[in-house]
Amino acid sequence: MLHSILAFVQAWWVELLCALLIVLVVPLIAVYIALVERKFMADVQARPDPMRVGPHGLLQQIPDALKLLFKEDLIPANADQFIFWFAPVLSMTAALTSMGAVAFGPWFQVARDINIGLLFVVGVSALSPLGIILGGWASNNHYPIIGALRSTAQLISYETTAGFALVSGFLLAGTLNVRAIVEIQRTDQAWFVFLAPVGFFIYLIASIVETNREPFDLPETKSELVAGSIAEYGGFRWLLYFLAEYANRIVVASVGTTLFLGGWLRPFPNVRWLTWLDAAPTLLLAAVGAYCVFRAGKQPAREQSLFMWAVALACFVVAAIFALAAPFDHLPFELMHDGLYGAFWFLFKVSAYIYVFMWLRFTLPRFRFDQFTRLGWHILIPLAVINVVGVSIALALSSEFGINRWVATFITTIAAIGAAMLLLHWNDKYSAAASAALLAESSVSEDTHAG
């Protein structure tokens, strides 16, 4: 018995380590994404956000999380106990489990080389709407129920759009296996974002919608629905929903990165004179460390400057690890080298993707529910289907008639953009009357119309 367990661990230790790391680290990352978001929002609104706990509020999220953990665990009297308990667990489990098939670099993946690969990520993360609607229902309160209905309607109506956008990527890849998708972007010498730009654009919009961000944050709409479907949740259960939301954000960013942005590949992996880009991780981390040293002297309290020194030291240590691993890019150490550098580029791209989310959030006003559904059903779904047809025709043209694939891609992209213009034009003619009629009613009363 013990022997077989040992053999098992020996065979799968990388995957098991990775599983443990994801469970331990992703909540931390999620919490810090929230901090970055707060700081960024504060910056946009010209104010400093948390500044007290740790230097520049770097430790703010830890007392926040502890507070949530020890808050009173309140279940409303007329709530459904069982489902109130079950729903957040479902949301959280779905969001984290879907990360099992994401490749955070060529060697960091829990389920390596599974045949359905990226589809597993997409499909399992699509279960979290169930947690939201069940949680809203279990609260037995008007606001959460309306919020849950809206939220689920929003999540599912853009899931189809995202699915069609992913099909255009799978057409180019010819496989669902995560590692094969990235490798094919290396051998094809092009990230798929350049071969299917319209598909990437559609996926970007759909992924913003699926993570409930402004300008599509209709389920939360703090001015209308209190806090949407999770108004009755507090303490650790609320924390579970929070983690699920941020984990989902990481998941959609990872899917977009893997399929369209070349996964863990360095930019221009095949161009010889750009190999100096391999030094980027070391330099970047060293620069961050140096900046921390620079700021450490300016901290108001001694503890804060000590903490800043610690951060700087951590940055330097990681930079040193990258620098030491750099020469070992041949066989016995290849795993370590590729793993480290791949993980860096992957996380870099994912962070950039999430940063774009935040950027849009602080720039654009919220959509109205009718505008939002019309955007989905009248414009994006037909556009996504046209894009799938366009990409497949471009592929067929370049393989059957020997047309240069960039020319073929350019032609079909122009055609798809033309179709989008046409759809927008029809929609404009159509929607003016509908909008005027709708403005008369408030949107909450709209939701509760019987029949």
Partner 1 sequence: MLDSVIFYFFAGIAVISAALMITRRNAIHSAVFLITTLLATAGIFLQLRAEFLFISQIILYVGGIMVLFIFVIMLVRLDVPLPQIRSRTQKWIALLVALAVGVEAGVVLWLARKIPGQGLIFPNPAPADKLHPNTEELARSLFGSYLLPFEIASVLLLVAMVGAVVMAKKRTDA
Partner 2 sequence: MPPAYIPLLLFFLLVLAFPVVTLIVLKYIHPGSRGGPTKFQPHEYGILPETSASRPYSTRFYIIAMLFVIFNVETVFLFPWAVLFRSWLAAHLAGFALIPMFVFLGILLVGYVWLYKKGAFDLAS
User: What does the block give as tokens for 388?
Assistant: 């799938």
Is 402 one of the binding residues for partner 1 (CB under 8 A)?
Answer: no
Nearer to partner 2, 145 or 198 (CB): 145
Nearer to partner 1, 244 or 319 (CB): 244
Q: What is the dihedral of CA 342, 347, 349, 353, to 10 degrees?
A: 160
- Selected from 58, 149, 285, 386, the binder of partner 1 by CB under 8 A is 149
Is 231 one of the binding residues for partner 2 (CB under 8 A)?
Answer: yes
Is 156 one of the binding residues for partner 1 (CB under 8 A)?
Answer: yes
Nearer to partner 2, 146 or 340 (CB): 146
Binding mask 86-125 for partner 1 (x = CB under 8 A): x---------------------------xxx--xx-xxx-
Smallest distance from partner 2 to CB 53, Å: 23
Is 438 one of the binding residues for partner 1 (CB under 8 A)?
Answer: no
Smallest distance from partner 1 to CB 45, Å: 37
Identity at 397, one-letter amino acid code? L
Give residues 174-233 in contact with partner 1 (rule: CB under 8 A). 176
- Residue 110 interacts with, from partner 1, partner 2, none (CB under 5-8 Å by kind): partner 2
Nearer to partner 2, 114 or 320 (CB): 114
Task: Please count the other Cβ atoms lying within 10 Å of the Cβ belonging to residue 425.
Answer: 10
User: Judged by CB under 8 A, which stretch of 80-88, 256-264, 357-365, 406-414 contacts partner 1?
Assistant: 80-88
Smallest distance from partner 1 to CB 116, Å: 5
Give residues 328-367 in contact with partner 2 (rule: CB under 8 A). none
User: Judged by CB under 8 A, which stretch of 76-84, 185-193, 285-293, 301-309 contacts partner 1?
Assistant: 76-84
CA–CA separation, 197 vs 400, rounded Å? 22
User: Judged by CB under 8 A, which stretch of 167-175, 214-222, 349-357, 402-410 contacts partner 2?
Assistant: 167-175
Q: Which long-range contacts (CB under 8 A, 24 or more apart) does 77-82 make?
A: 78/140, 79/138, 79/139, 79/140, 79/232, 80/137, 80/138, 80/140
Is 251 one of the binding residues for partner 2 (CB under 8 A)?
Answer: no
Smallest distance from partner 2 to CB 115, Å: 8
Nearer to partner 2, 93 or 305 (CB): 93
Nearer to partner 2, 22 or 35 (CB): 22
CA–CA separation, 236 vs 242, rounded Å? 10
Is 97 one of the binding residues for partner 2 (CB under 8 A)?
Answer: yes
Is 415 one of the binding residues for partner 2 (CB under 8 A)?
Answer: no
User: Judged by CB under 8 A, which stretch of 48-56, 84-92, 297-305, 340-348 contacts partner 2?
Assistant: 84-92
Phi then psi for residue 141, to 5 deg, are: -150, 145
Binding mask 34-63 for partner 2 (x = CB under 8 A): ------------------------------
- Selected from 38, 142, 186, 405, the binder of partner 2 by CB under 8 A is 142
- Selected from 307, 322, 353, 369, the binder of partner 2 by CB under 8 A is 369
- The footprint of partner 1 (CB under 8 A) covers 80, 82-83, 86, 114-116, 119-120, 122-124, 126-127, 129-130, 133-134, 137, 145, 149, 152, 156, 159, 176, 451
